[in-house]
């Protein structure tokens, strides 16, 4: 189950496509979050925002505009770069990105040729977690990656998103992802399918 959770988190941080808009519009994503926390009341605000869209196309357009503005291009500076090396090295594809590539190589994790993102992009790091859980990598190694490669910088990403968001989608998503990862790490939860 945790493998699916991290895979879904990953998909939420790639460039929005029709499939994502459909899942959001049909409330599949909100049901997904409700199932994680067994709580339906917590996501009412998010659901009411989604209900404002008259169709999936309008929702998709809104998500794509916001994604581009926050993560790809915005003059004079990018509000929330989704790369660890930006926060740690003050450059893109700095030592942090090189380090994460070495970790990926160690686990034989290959980034799809269809993905045109740097290796320390939040979506790729989350996808890697999903993959190593699936491979039954020991839980302590999963926790180490979560702490050192995601939690070490995701709070800065969260702050950048919250301070600059024009729609609530990415603020909601990053808060929920950080909360979930913190619970995994702080409680040292044995990840489903992973061995300690």
Q: Write down the pLDDT at residue 188.
A: 62
pTM, entire model:
0.89
Taking each helix axis from N to C end, the angle separating 95-106 and 122-134, rounded to the nearest 10 degrees, works out to 20
Provide the CA 22 distance to its chain's centre, in angstroms. Answer: 18
- Which residues in the chain come in under a pLDDT of 50? 190-196
Q: Write down the pLDDT at residue 177.
A: 93
Q: Write down the pLDDT at residue 112.
A: 83
Rounded-to-integer distance, Cα 146 and Cα 194, Å: 14
Rounded-to-integer distance, Cα 196 and Cα 191, Å: 9
3-state helix, strand, coil in the chain (%, to 5): 65, 0, 30
Reported as a single tens digit per residue, the pLDDT across 144-166 is: 999 999 999 999 999 999 999 99
b (16+ CB within 10 A) / e for 103-133: bbeeeebebeeeeebbbbbbbbbbbbbbbbb
Reported as a single tens digit per residue, the pLDDT across 109-124 is: 988 888 888 999 999 9
DSSP symbol at 98: H
Q: Write down the pLDDT at residue 44.
A: 86
Q: Write down the pLDDT at residue 4.
A: 92
């Amino acid at each position: 189950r945790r493998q699916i959770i991290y895979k879904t988190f990953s998909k939420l941080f790639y460039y929005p496509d029709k499939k994502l808009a459909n899942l959001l519009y049909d409330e599949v994503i909100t049901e997904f979050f409700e199932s994680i926390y067994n709580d339906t009341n917590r996501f009412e605000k998010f659901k009411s925002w989604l209900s404002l869209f008259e169709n999936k196309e309008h929702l998709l357009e809104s998500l794509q505009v916001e994604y581009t503005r926050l993560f790809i291009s915005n003059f004079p500076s990018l509000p929330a770069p989704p790369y660890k090396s930006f926060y740690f090295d003050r450059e893109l594809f700095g030592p942090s990105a090189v380090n994460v590539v070495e970790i990926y190589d160690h686990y034989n994790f290959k980034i799809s040729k269809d993905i045109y993102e740097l290796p320390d992009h939040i979506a790729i790091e989350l996808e890697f977690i999903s993959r190593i859980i699936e491979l039954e990598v020991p839980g302590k190694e999963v926790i180490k990656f979560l702490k050192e490669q995601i939690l070490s910088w995701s709070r800065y990403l969260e702050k950048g998103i919250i301070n600059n968001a024009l729609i609530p989608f990415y603020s909601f998503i990053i808060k929920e992802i950080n909360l979930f990862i913190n619970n995994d790490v702080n409680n040292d939860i044995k990840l489903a399918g992973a061995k300690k």
